[in-house]
Amino acid sequence: MTYTQPKLPYSNDALAPAISEMTVDYHYGKHEKAYIDNLNRLIQGTEYEDKELEEIICTSEGALFNNASQAWNHIFYFFSFSPYGGGEPDGELAEAIKEKFGSFERFKKDFVDAGVGIFGSGWIWLARDEKGDLFIVPKTNAGNPLTDGLTPILVFDVWEHAYYLDYQNRRADALNKLWDIVDWDIVGSRY
């Protein structure tokens, strides 16, 4: 199997000012492409050659895990956004957030605080378990809650390349601005 980088469902400038066209060009166009290219090279002729990406993430380690997970994480991240996003979730996800965190505003604060608190690079996830209980899951490097048996719902990237061109070292500002572009229809469908 050969993995390909999916085309974004919006133009590279559509998420501005939350994420600039230059950041999308570099982040999705170059970083994500490199992960997919490396993944394809690493699986050639191995037991992983015909496995689904999620299975590779949950059963591999080292360079293969890093490239597989980063490829998956970036697609999940960029396909969580819309130029028409923002607002708040509704339905079951909204109810689950209110039950777990008390309010949507409290959830946003806790989520951003957990992302800011990651030392170095990584990802901040909202994930659910098999019962539907929600968890904020900070992961360093290429970490993914799939490896913990959880289902990812939402992720914000806290690697510097995700925000440095637009926000320099202001990670909290970058994370807070992402709320303006979250596509809650897509995110809610993952719950």
Give per-residue pLDDT as tens, 67-91: 999 999 999 999 999 999 999 999 9
> pLDDT tens digits, residue range 161-174?
999 989 999 999 99
Indicate the pTM of the whole model: 0.95
Report the half-sphere exposure of 22 (CA within 13 A, side-chain side). Answer: 7
Q: What is the mean pLDDT of the chain?
A: 97
What would the mean pLDDT of 3-30 be, rounded to a whole number? 96
- CA distances (Å), origin 88, targets 108, 160, 184: 10, 26, 7
Residues 6+ apart with CB under 8 A from 94: 88, 104, 188
- Confidence bin at 1 (pLDDT 50/70/90): confident
Task: Sketch out the chain's domains with CATH numbers.
Answer: 21-78 (1.10.287.990), 91-190 (3.55.40.20)
Distance CA 32, CA 28 (A): 5
